[in-house]
Structure 1
Amino acid sequence: MGDTSDKVAVVTGGSRGIGRAVSLLLAERGYRVCLSYVANETAAAEVLAAIEARGGRGVAVQCDVAEEKDVVALFEAANRLGRLAALVNNAGIVDVTCRVDAMSAQRLQRMMATNVIGSLLCTREAVRRMSTRHGGRGGAIVNLSSIAAKLGGAGQYVDYAASKGAIDSFTIGLAREVADEGIRVNAVSPGVIDTEIHASGGNPDRARALAPDIPMKRAGRPEEIAAPIAWLLSEEASYMTGTIIDAAGGR
């Protein structure tokens, strides 16, 4: 996968679920990991302990990616670890099942602020550090989309699906914008993954309930999403940019 010993990876939402799996895998591959978390300091500390137990190095930063000042502080912390080479825009939220005609403006603003604006703000800071245009040495960005961007989320959370559709467009546009500046930009689009995000949307059994409707007849594991993310960040994917990889069990 190449030498990553002097490289730093920022993983947003890195304390639980897919973000946790990504943080651990990148640490195993030699990255110094700067992970963000919103509120669960205990979970973040556990990930750091696991990284250090494997001989890695990392830092956890409390950060709401929808807040510009928090994002700036996150990347300042990453600066202290070394040269930024990778960003995984993983932080995201869902909400309770709801039709569009019952959604409040507050819900919509929160959804877009976290899932879309948060990724844009983090990417802005990453490009400022990675781009050869700004004196950087290049890098790679992976955005977390969702198969919901294609399926639409009708009757459940069209707002979430729309936010991930925006991430798909952002991935393609940014990839073309910085392709000649040493930065590759790709996305992974998970299907139903067995993580705590379903409970945060009021449906902790959602992954199990949807399993029969998935061609592979099971929900995915966080590690099964971390693997393609790590691959896209690696030199093995050196000619890939603007690509969105589905990891959805056939959905």
Structure 2
Amino acid sequence: MTRPRTLVTGGSRGIGAATALRLAHDGHDIALSYVSDKDAAERTADAVRDAGARCVVARADTSREADVERLFDLAQAELGALTGLVNNAGVTAPLGPLADTSTDDLRRVVDVNVLGVLLCCRRAARDMGAAGEGAIVNVSSAAATLGSPGDYVHYAASKAAVDTITLGLAKELGPLGVRVNAVAPGIIDTEIHAASGDPGRAAAAAPGIPLRRPGTAEEVAAAIAWLLSPSAAYTTGTVLRVAGGR
């Protein structure tokens, strides 16, 4: 049987890296993108190849149309027509109230988390729609429904937009044979918290989570893998919450 071929944006670390590796073990060939950490991306690619999959690595800022087009072109030139897309690339910006957030940080969050998802979804819609098959999984956040006051309201708003993109595009592409879903992680123990200025945030949040612990990148990857699998063939327009009960 032909192996699935899936592009994972932001695939160098955290949820993206865990997803690339999980999908490789599930039989996918992988293309992954990164923005700045080439060494981490290559380590992930090596692990994917060790799992028996082909892997293409490319630097791409998904908020830039030219980068997105080049990324898809390269992935498909090396692997063949893509059957899956995981829109994982995202940024948070420093934690704090909206009143203290700079315009540059607001713009970057919206550019990557909303425009970047739209650009990748648009290209996937064109390619997969023409092929009559495919699956897209967008990485949203539990913040979309919690609002994240005092932390990053702007990030929460960007992820609410991802939920809406998921719902609308699922209805648009369903008749063409393309499924569109999302996962909404809660507090996950990855490097994203250090990047936003609070490396201990995941552990500190544990008492407020019904399961009393942060999640792991591998647990989110498992949900993404299911949404891309034939087992989820009748699932589209769904935001699957992976948040420990929050």
TM-score (normalised: structure 2): 0.97
8 Å CA contact 1:18, 1:222 repeated in 2: yes
- Map of 1:125 onto structure 2: 123
Tell me which stretches of 4 or more aligned residues in structure 1 moved more than 6 Å. Answer: none
Secondary structure of the corresponding residue to residue 182 of structure 2:
strand
Q: Give secondary structure in 1 for the equivalent of 2:82.
A: strand
Alignment of 1:1-251 (within 5 A): 3=1, 5=3, 7-80=4-77, 81-131=79-129, 134=130, 136-251=131-246
1:205 partner amino acid: G
Structure 2 counterpart SS, 1:249: coil
Please identify, of 93-102 and 121-130, the stretch whose mean Cα deviation from structure 2 is larger. Answer: 93-102
Q: How much does 1:93 deviate?
A: 0.6
How many equivalent residue pairs?
245
Distance in 2, matches of 1:46 and 1:161, equals 30
Please give the alpha-carbon distance, in whole angstroms, between the structure 2 residues aligned to 1:193 and 1:4: 33
Residue deviations 1:146-202, cap 9 Å, x none? 000111010110000000000011100000011100100001000000000011101
Whether the 8 Å CA contact 1:4–1:29 is kept in 2: the answer is no
- Counterpart amino acid of residue 49 in structure 2: E
For the 8 Å contact 1:4–1:31, the answer to whether it is kept is: no
Give the Cα–Cα distance (whole angstroms) in 2 for the partners of residues 47 and 200 of structure 1. 19
Q: Which amino acid aligns with 2:16?
A: G
Q: Against the structure 1 CA distance between its residues 96 and 4, is the aligned structure 2 distance closer, same or farther, given a 3 Å change threshold?
A: farther
Q: Return the alpha-carbon distance in structure 2 between the equivalents of residues 25 and 118 of structure 1.
A: 23
Among all aligned residue pairs of Structure 1 and Structure 2, give the percentage whose two residues are the same amino acid. Answer: 51
Q: CA deviation at 1:97?
A: 1.5
In 2, the alpha carbon distance for the partners of 1:54 and 1:86 equals 18
Shift, 1:32, TM fit: 1.1
Can you give the 5+ residue segments of structure 1 that lack an aligned partner in the other structure?
none
Bigger mean CA deviation after superposition, 27-36 or 189-198: 27-36
Q: Give the match's secondary structure for 2:94.
A: coil
Q: Which amino acid aligns with 1:25?
A: R
Return the offset for 1:104.
2.1
Query: Deviation of residue 212 (structure 1)?
Result: 1.1
Name the amino acid aligned to 2:62. V
**Partners of 1:187 and 1:232 in 2: CA distance:** 8
